[in-house]
Amino acid sequence: MHAQDEETEVTPSVNFLDSEATTEEVDLFNNQGRILIMNIPNGMWEERGRVNLHAHNPHPQAPEHLSMVNNLTNDNAKKKIVHDGTNLTCISQPEWKKLRSRVIMLAEPMTHCCFQCGMLNHPEKNDTIIVDDIQGRHDCRAYRVFRYYIRKLTDDRCNRLPGEATRAERRAVRSSIFLCEPVDGGGCRVYTCRACKRLCRAGTTANNKPRYSQCSPADLDLFDGVDEDDDYNSIGIGDRVPSVYANLSCNDRMCLGVLKVMLSPPFAQLA
């Protein structure tokens, strides 16, 4: 168990709580936001980099299962190889090519943020639509709720660019994550997930093309703080998280099993 000292924000100190401490002794009710209960196996930090890899990874130190997938898809996509005694002989070479393309696509980071629900998706064909009732990014439901995380994601990716990167290159990176581009005739061009694309379909235009309109909050049930009057009141989802959480990826959180629950004494036994 660790308790973060909030007085130091950049390099927070960590205090180890008494393994026999009770809820009352550590004042859990008032300190639950600063207490982490976790199980850290030996060597976890050394192994996390190997686990947090995409399906397609040509690195020579990639885990064995990734090397196997890479070798199979690469070899069989180029020339059909007979694998005697296995079911791999049932897969045709065109199917191997499709599998290879799919595996490589999954290695691409999910960067296209849906304008309405905020889901990150792999860049796909036809995932961009023009929405009539949006004039700017603050009209997008996802930006109102997740703007802090969208900004952080775009800033992180821009920081990876070389120092001589132009403003146009940085702008392209930002628009590749959250797109909201005004178009002639009204509305904005945005990224969308498949579900929201279906939900936002609102008939056809005069040119017989699909027309889209952002759903009213009453038509959605996202529990994100946007009410039926389209007013947003934070319920914690879009709030900035403590630095000790912010430094963890979603895989880290799953691995560590970070808990934030009200426990009854003695709570140290659950660590």
* Residue 52, token pair as written in the block: 């947090």
Torsion sign, CA atoms 220, 137, 243, 55:
positive
How far from the centroid of its chain's Cα atoms is residue 183's Cα?
A: 28
In whole angstroms, give the CA distance from residue 122 to residue 118: 13
In whole angstroms, give the CA distance from residue 100 to residue 119: 25
In whole angstroms, give the CA distance from residue 253 to residue 199: 32
Per-residue pLDDT of the chain (271 residues; tens, 9 = 90+): 444 444 444 555 666 777 677 777 777 767 766 666 565 556 665 665 655 556 566 666 666 666 777 777 777 777 766 677 777 778 788 888 888 887 777 777 788 999 999 999 888 888 999 999 999 999 999 999 999 889 988 998 888 888 888 989 988 888 889 999 999 988 999 999 999 999 999 988 888 889 999 998 888 888 888 888 888 888 878 888 777 777 777 667 666 654 444 344 444 444 4
Q: What pLDDT shows up at residue 178?
A: 94
**For the residues of the chain, what is the DSSP string, one character each?**
-EEE-TT-SSS--EEEPPTT--TTTTTHHHHGGGEEB----TTHHHHHHHHS--S----TTS-HHHHHHHHHHHHHHHS----TTSGGGGS-HHHHHHHHHHHHHHHS---EE-TTT--EE---TT-EEEETT-SSGGGSHHHHHHHHHHHHHHHHHHHTS-TT--HHHHHHHHHTTS-EEE-TTS-EEEE--HHHHHHTEEEE-TTS-EEE-PPPGGG----SSB-TTS-B---STTSPPPHHHHTS-HHHHHHHT-B----PSSGGGG-
pTM of the predicted structure, to 2 decimals: 0.61
Contact present, 39 and 32 (Cβ < 8 Å): no
Give every CB contact of residue 109 below 8 A, 6+ residues apart in sequence. none
In whole angstroms, give the CA distance from residue 245 to residue 239: 12
Q: What pLDDT shows up at residue 240?
A: 80
Considering only CA atoms, which of 152, 148, 140, 130 is closest in space to residue 226? 140
Contact present, 105 and 122 (Cβ < 8 Å): yes
Q: What pLDDT shows up at residue 86?
A: 78
| 35-36 β-sheet, strand order | 14-16, 2-4, 35-36
Torsion sign, CA atoms 107, 113, 118, 124:
negative
Q: What pLDDT shows up at residue 55?
A: 59
Q: What pLDDT shows up at residue 162?
A: 86
Domain boundaries, the chain: 2-42+249-270, 54-107, 118-243
Amino acid making up residue 202: A
Q: What pLDDT shows up at residue 57?
A: 63
